[in-house]
Amino acid sequence: MNITIDEIDGGVRAHVAEPRLDAALAIRFKDRLREVVSRHGPLILLDLSEVNFMDSSGLGAILAIRRALPPGRRIELTGLTPNVDRVFRLTRMDMIFTIHGAGDAPAATEAEA
């Protein structure tokens, strides 16, 4: 599971460098994101700009992370490709998550080692 972490104002950006977020990756994705949430915060900006396909398992993994967030922490999304954006709109999850368009998400301040 290839996720890079960059510090941003108020938290971190977790960039998912995978073309698919589906049943084959959902468990590893969820485990990796739990690590990120436990070490960083209060904002986790999930960058999905390289994810071209997401199925219900991928969506379920993101929802599970959101539900498990400790108080005072939040997950927001950015970089949704057209197919991934469609999944969020069709399932009405665009009403649940804060989704940033191009250019309105917090910028990275420095790379984490």
Q: At what angle do helices 26-39 and 56-68 cross, to 10 degrees?
A: 20
89: Cα within 13 Å, side-chain hemisphere: 7
What integer is the mean pLDDT of 66-87? Answer: 92
Given a contact cutoff of 8 angstroms between Cβ atoms, the answer to whether 106 and 73 are in contact is no
pLDDT in tens, 26-70: 999 999 888 888 887 799 999 999 999 999 999 999 999 999 888
CATH code for the domain of 22: 3.30.750.24
Predicted pLDDT of residue 39? 81
**pLDDT for 111 beyond 80:** no
Identify the band that residue 112 occupies on the pLDDT scale cut at 50, 70 and 90.
very low
Looking at the structure of the chain, the number of domains it has is 1
* Pairing assessment for the beta strands 99-100 and 74-78 based on DSSP bridges: parallel
By residue range, what is the domain housing residue 41? 3-111
Contacts of 11 (CB under 8 A, 6+ apart): 40, 41, 42, 43, 44, 45, 106
pLDDT at 14 over 90: yes
